[in-house]
Amino acid sequence: MLHQYLSAAFLLSTGVGIYSHADKILLYFNALLIVAGVITGYFANRERENRAYKMLMQRFTSMLLTIGILGSIWSILREQGVVMLSSHVVIMTIYLVLLVWLITVIKFEATDYQVLMEAERKESARQKYLPKKSR
């Protein structure tokens, strides 16, 4: 079964108006990415105090929305039968970009995010003992 999805005929096909089962799954996955991007964007915009968390959520938001929208555009191109842009190789390349982007966001979370959180904790502890500014 996996051999069918890795064949040259499947990867380079551009069936006009014909959605295979895999195309429908990819369409729903792209919609799921967009919904997840909107949800993470909502939580990123709600955060007021923790700037490091907000930055991390904004990175996830931009990644999910960008890849979801590109995948949705691919689905539209697939339905219209645009010759090379609607092949499965294009969507595989888009998802490969998603994977690389996800690795960089996880790397940010593992390294820079921890440093930013520690700096923010120190700053909040320092602000706690400083006198309030009077106007």
Please give the full DSSP string across 13-82, using - where no structure is assigned.
---TT---HHHHHHHHHHHHHHHHHHHHHHHHHH--S-HHHHHHHHHHHHHHHHHHHHHHHHHHHHHHT-
Are 91 and 23 in contact, with CB atoms under 8 Å apart?
A: no
- Within a domain: residue 101? yes
- Within a domain: residue 9? no
- Within a domain: residue 11? no
pLDDT greater at residue 58 or residue 109 = 58
Domain that holds residue 99: 20-129
- Within a domain: residue 135? no
- Within a domain: residue 134? no
Per residue in 65-86, pLDDT tens? 999 999 999 888 888 877 777 7
- Within a domain: residue 120? yes
Are 47 and 57 in contact, with CB atoms under 8 Å apart?
A: yes
- Within a domain: residue 114? yes
Number of separate domains in the chain: 1
What global pTM score does this model have?
0.75
- Within a domain: residue 5? no
Task: Using alpha carbons only, give the angle 122, 125, 130 rounded to the nearest 5 degrees.
Answer: 120
Q: Would you state the structure tokens that stand for residue 119, as one six-digit string?
A: 């700096």
pLDDT of residue 62: 94
